[in-house]
Amino acid sequence: MKTKEKTSMVKVPQVVFRCSVERPGYYRFHYGHFTPGGTFAENSEQSFWDFLKTVDVPVAFVAAFVESLSDSELENCRFGYFSQVRFVELMRYFVESCDTVQLYPGMLALTFNEKEDEG
């Protein structure tokens, strides 16, 4: 009983993807935390790449992926968009790093554990 209560009080890191209506051929993404109150609190204080470093996505992957992006792709990412090609590439690595994958009509949510502080 106490475990359930404690678990329900924790903010859960998530990345949510949906097909973009505004930009056909792109996926729109949001990142932040699913809160104990049942809402999604988008993280606007960190870049997407910095957010990924706080969860169990390997830092080497983040660095390699960012280096592989062109300037225009980096600009698209700053506005929360991945092209279909980059989305597929990113998913190959994300699925390995996330705890759960939830598929909803028109939306994909990936849930992560936050990194444990070492020391």
Query: Would you kindly state where each structural domain of the chain is located, as residue ranges?
Result: 16-111
Strands (DSSP E) along 20-106, which ranges? 26-34, 40-42, 81-83, 100-104
User: Is residue 75 a contact partner of residue 83, using CB atoms and an 8 Å limit?
Assistant: no
28 pLDDT higher than 90: yes
- Separation CA 36–CA 62 (nearest Å): 28
Mean pLDDT of 22-36: 93
For residue 94, name the pLDDT band (cuts at 50, 70, 90): confident
- pTM for this prediction: 0.79
Q: What is the mean pLDDT of the chain?
A: 84
DSSP 66: H
What is the arithmetic mean of pLDDT over 5-19?
A: 77
pLDDT at 73 over 90: yes
Percent of the chain beyond pLDDT 70?
88
| pLDDT tens digits, 39-57 | 999 998 998 988 988 887 8
Give the pLDDT confidence score for residue 118 in this predicted structure.
52
